[in-house]
Amino acid sequence: MTVTPRITVSDGRLTVRGRTVLTGVPDNVSAAHAAGAGLVDGAFVGAHAGEAKSHHVFTFGTLRDCRFLCLFRFKLWWMTQRMGVSGRDVPLETQFMLVEVPASDGDGDDAPAYVVMLPLLEGQFRAALQGNDRDELQICIESGDKAVQTDQAAHMVYLHAGDNPFDTVTAAVKAVEKHLQTFHHRDKKKLPSFLDWFGWCTWDAFYTDVTADGVKHGLQSLSKGGAPPRFLIIDDGWQQIASENKPDPNVAVQEGAQFASRLTGIKENTKFQTKPDGDGDGEQAPGGLKRLVAETKDAHGVKQVYVWHAMAGYWGGVTPTAGTAMERYEPALAYPVQSPGVTGNQPDIVMDSLSVLGLGLVHPRRVRDFYGELHAYLASCGVDGVKVDVQNIIETLGAGHGGRVAITRAYHRALEASVARSFPDNGCISCMCHNSDMLYSARQTAVVRASDDFYPRDPASHTVHVASVAYNTVFLGEFMQPDWDMFHSLHPAAEYHGAARAIGGCPIYVSDKPGNHNFELLRKLVLPDGTVLRAQLPGRPTRDCLFSDPARDGASLLKIWNLNKCGGVVGVFNCQGAGWCRVTKRTRVHDASPGTLTGTVRADDVDAIARVAGDGGGWDGETVVYAHRTRELVRLPRGVALPVTLGPLQYEVFHVCPLRAVVPGFSFAPVGLLDMFNAGGAVEECDVISNVGGKAMALRVRGCGRFGAYCSREPARCLLDSAEVEFSYDADTGLVSVDLPVPEQELYRWTLEIMV
């Protein structure tokens, strides 16, 4: 019998189901019960201080001997993961904790409980967690404006407990949604349609040197090889900017980032203007962006075009010079002030530059006009959405504007209102935005970049990237659909990145230079019509990986699970060798030669596999598992594990298909397109039907190539759109395969019948 978990604070202890999580809880800390439905309870934690200040650090209690996962901001812009067992392992700027509470001796329940800790926004204050060398868990609250002070907070942290870690995280965020009423869960948001199309981004291909001709060449290059981009991001480099101040020679400025530059107009720059008609050297005519967007759609088949801009307009904001086009937005120079938690983790050279040069900040009362006019112009050019970058800069500019929460919310409300007016497909990607100020203020935005960038020239970054996107998604995926970033198809780590994107439930897009493509790899991701086989959920680490450290412990493989409509998928990655270091305050290689590791894969690694098993809940747990790289098909009894061995920077993708009994002596499981990374994404329906010859499995599938399924005995016939087709059958493995031709229609679905 499952006992309803309860969270209490009394006698200096915080307990869950009577099991101690924190000891030494001070008298100034209290918990307000927040009962939920079903098998979970929640509580809000508050505290009071002796004086009003803009920044407080409260002791929450001592944490020892509980495994946990932290997600914390290692940079101003981005989160990453940290695992630990005691308070000293909790980094500064922790915005999410998932704690595994082990069973206590004699409590009659051997199963662990899970507790989610969510530091919140309360009024004008924002909370974060941190630890110290005494193993004390602390709660830091701050306003970001010395004039905004308090001596207490009643709802600083929300705690939620349950039996399933993923369900508990979802329940916690939905409880906070109801409490704050300032944001919406991902389930309530409209997902933009670009997610299901293959894309190309100009950033790594050209950086800020992007031109209209470069955009067209990139699209042509991919299309000619059979991977047509249907989604395009024109990244940084298209705007009108000027550098009004030369950087201090003593301040480091990152190569490629225009931190000293500010926006001077909302239209495209001269690189994107249309050349004049005739042979003369006259001035360039306006309308270049509109013509370029029309050409990408008419001549290159692009469905959605997004363009980049920073939250503040550009890296350095907008020009505050009087008499310019920006004057109507009432800009003024502002100098960022960062949270002590952020600077304590990793100082940022962007902020070092802006703290000297200042940022041209559009006044919060005019930001609706600024976004509205910028986006209206882009929409008039045929643009479908925006990638809004450098978002967390806004939290540092709260002084004089009511604090970090107030200014962040003002900017996000204005941004979302403008996107709703100009881009009806909810066309917005949020980037460099991993602060809870934004997450708990986002009512509409549905796509969020999941981690720091893909760095093509940094060999140490690739394992770090895949691990970070997976763990960050545990939290971010409750708010928005995580975007795991672009990558290069022609790169030593391309297959590693491609496999991760295929199972992440994320958009799939590359940033290849024209002519530099691996089309063999892209054919594992992209169908000839430019669609992708996107998994159904945000991809997250499997339950047995939540508290291990697959980047640093030298022993663990990372497993990421997701669902398709008729099966599940598990990607396994060797991510060992590099990670963020709290001593050096940077990402570093800690093992230059990580070893080969062995782990196991089980059907129940797909945590929600029963959802797609069918048969009214009568599934007995038996599955068929297909390995992408080894091409092995295995029938797996309930509870049995498959071994997997991977060297450094290696991966494998397993397709997990519930086995269905069709008639006595005949069992069936669909696999999908055998040559695609996410094979099972091709299967959209699978039903048992009766026909003239008896029983058959009827499938709705999309795509082309080699389609595979498991049959316990050789089928009698196979029909494709009612026409009989040839098939092959391997009696040793039970694999039946059919060749699906390239459909003549975009988004075409085949009807495949496999007859008993």
* pLDDT tens track for 177-215: 999 999 999 999 999 999 999 999 999 999 999 999 999
Tell me the pLDDT band of 447, cut-offs 50, 70 and 90.
Answer: very high
Largest interatomic CA distance in the chain? 90
Q: Which residues of 468-478 are buried (b: 16+ CB within 10 A; e: fewer)?
A: bbbbbbbbbbb
Token pair, residue 635, equals 């029938």
β-pairing, 735-740 with 705-711? Answer: antiparallel
Say yes or no to pLDDT of 348 above 90. no
In angstroms, rounded to a whole number, what is the distance separating the alpha carbons of residues 507 and 122? Answer: 33
Instruction: Name the amino acid, one letter, at 524.
Output: K
- pLDDT of 110 reads 77
Tell me the pLDDT band of 108, cut-offs 50, 70 and 90.
Answer: low
89 contacts 133 by C-beta, under 8 angstroms? no
Q: Which residues of 435-456 are buried (b: 16+ CB within 10 A; e: fewer)?
A: bbbbbbbbbbbbbbbbbbbbeb
pLDDT 10s digits, 636-686: 999 999 999 999 999 999 999 999 988 888 999 999 999 999 999 999 999
pLDDT 10s digits, 399-431: 999 999 999 999 999 999 999 999 999 999 999
717 contacts 743 by C-beta, under 8 angstroms? no
665 contacts 713 by C-beta, under 8 angstroms? yes
Q: Which residues are paired to 121 by β-bridges?
A: 126
Say yes or no to pLDDT of 89 above 90. yes
Tell me the pLDDT band of 283, cut-offs 50, 70 and 90.
Answer: low
Say yes or no to pLDDT of 271 above 50. yes
- pLDDT of 39 reads 40
Residues of the chain with CATH 3.20.20.70: 188-275+286-449
Say yes or no to pLDDT of 513 above 90. yes
Does residue 86 come out as left (phi exceeding 0), alpha (psi in the -120 to 50 range) or beta? Answer: beta
CATH topology of domain 188-275+286-449: TIM Barrel (3.20.20)
CB count within 10 Å of CB 193 equals 16
Percent of the chain at pLDDT exceeding 90:
85
- pLDDT of 691 reads 77
β-pairing, 304-310 with 385-389? Answer: parallel
- Smallest CA-to-CA distance from 311 within 360, 346, 344, 268 is with 360
Say yes or no to pLDDT of 40 above 70. no
33-37, 75-79, 131-135, 323-327: lowest mean pLDDT where?
Answer: 33-37
- Smallest CA-to-CA distance from 156 within 31, 9, 57, 46 is with 46
Helix %, strand %, coil % for the chain, to 5?
25, 35, 40
- Residue 213, burial from CB neighbour count under 10 angstroms (0-12, 13-18, 19+): exposed
Say yes or no to pLDDT of 279 above 60. no
Q: What's the average model confidence in pLDDT over 348-358?
A: 88
In angstroms, rounded to a whole number, what is the distance separating the alpha carbons of residues 367 and 354? Answer: 20
Tell me the pLDDT band of 3, cut-offs 50, 70 and 90.
Answer: very low
Token pair, residue 227, equals 């991977």
587 contacts 346 by C-beta, under 8 angstroms? no
Q: Which positions ≥6 away from 729 have C-beta within 8 Å? A: 711, 714, 715, 735, 736
Instruction: Name the amino acid, one letter, at 39.
Output: L
Tell me the pLDDT band of 604, cut-offs 50, 70 and 90.
Answer: very high
Tell me the pLDDT band of 616, cut-offs 50, 70 and 90.
Answer: low
Q: What's the average model confidence in pLDDT over 589-614?
A: 92
Say yes or no to pLDDT of 488 above 80. yes
Integer CA distances (angstroms), 206 to 202, 271, 492, in order:
6, 13, 20
β-pairing, 597-601 with 723-724? Answer: unpaired
pLDDT 10s digits, 306-317: 999 999 999 999
pLDDT 10s digits, 690-724: 877 688 999 999 999 999 999 999 999 999 999 99
Q: What is the pTM of this model?
A: 0.96
322-326, 417-421, 438-442: lowest mean pLDDT where?
Answer: 322-326
- pLDDT of 652 reads 98
In angstroms, rounded to a whole number, what is the distance separating the alpha carbons of residues 367 and 370? Answer: 5
Q: Which residues are paired to 190 by β-bridges?
A: none
Whether the CA torsion 414, 415, 416, 419 is positive or negative: it is: positive
Q: What's the average model confidence in pLDDT over 505-514?
A: 98
**What end-to-end distance do the CA atoms of the chain give, in Å?**
43
β-pairing, 19-23 with 13-16? Answer: antiparallel
Say yes or no to pLDDT of 106 above 80. no
pLDDT 10s digits, 521-580: 999 999 999 999 999 999 999 999 999 999 999 999 999 999 999 999 999 999 999 999
Tell me the pLDDT band of 32, cut-offs 50, 70 and 90.
Answer: confident
Tell me the pLDDT band of 256, cut-offs 50, 70 and 90.
Answer: very low
- Smallest CA-to-CA distance from 170 within 179, 160, 180 is with 160
Q: Which residues are paired to 47 by β-bridges?
A: 29, 153
pLDDT 10s digits, 451-463: 999 999 998 899 9
Token pair, residue 731, equals 């009696």
Integer CA distances (angstroms), 573 to 218, 466, 497, 500, 605, in order:
30, 8, 10, 9, 14
CB count within 10 Å of CB 250 equals 7
Tell me the pLDDT band of 275, cut-offs 50, 70 and 90.
Answer: low
Say yes or no to pLDDT of 278 above 90. no
User: Would you state the torsion angle of the CA atoms of residues 61, 64, 68, 71, taken in this order, to the nearest 10 degrees?
Assistant: 50
- pLDDT of 347 reads 87
Token pair, residue 340, equals 């002590």
290 contacts 380 by C-beta, under 8 angstroms? yes
The 3-state DSSP class for residue 439 equals helix
**Between 691 and 286, the higher pLDDT residue:** 691
User: Would you state the torsion angle of the CA atoms of residues 142, 148, 152, 157, taken in this order, to the nearest 10 degrees?
Assistant: -40
Whether the CA torsion 81, 42, 412, 293 is positive or negative: it is: positive
Which residue in the block uniquely carries the two structure tokens 């549905």? 446
In angstroms, rounded to a whole number, what is the distance separating the alpha carbons of residues 433 and 449? Answer: 8
CB count within 10 Å of CB 733 equals 16
Say yes or no to pLDDT of 176 above 60. yes
232-236, 277-281, 294-298, 481-485: lowest mean pLDDT where?
Answer: 277-281
In angstroms, rounded to a whole number, what is the distance separating the alpha carbons of residues 697 and 365? Answer: 61
In angstroms, rounded to a whole number, what is the distance separating the alpha carbons of residues 300 and 293? Answer: 10
87-91, 325-329, 349-353: lowest mean pLDDT where?
Answer: 349-353
Q: Which residues are paired to 712 by β-bridges?
A: none
Give one DSSP letter per residue of 241-255, joined into a string: EEE-SPPPTTS---T
Q: What's the average model confidence in pLDDT over 12-38?
A: 85
Which residue in the block uniquely carries the two structure tokens 């003002």? 410
- pLDDT of 73 reads 98
| Average pLDDT along the chain | 93
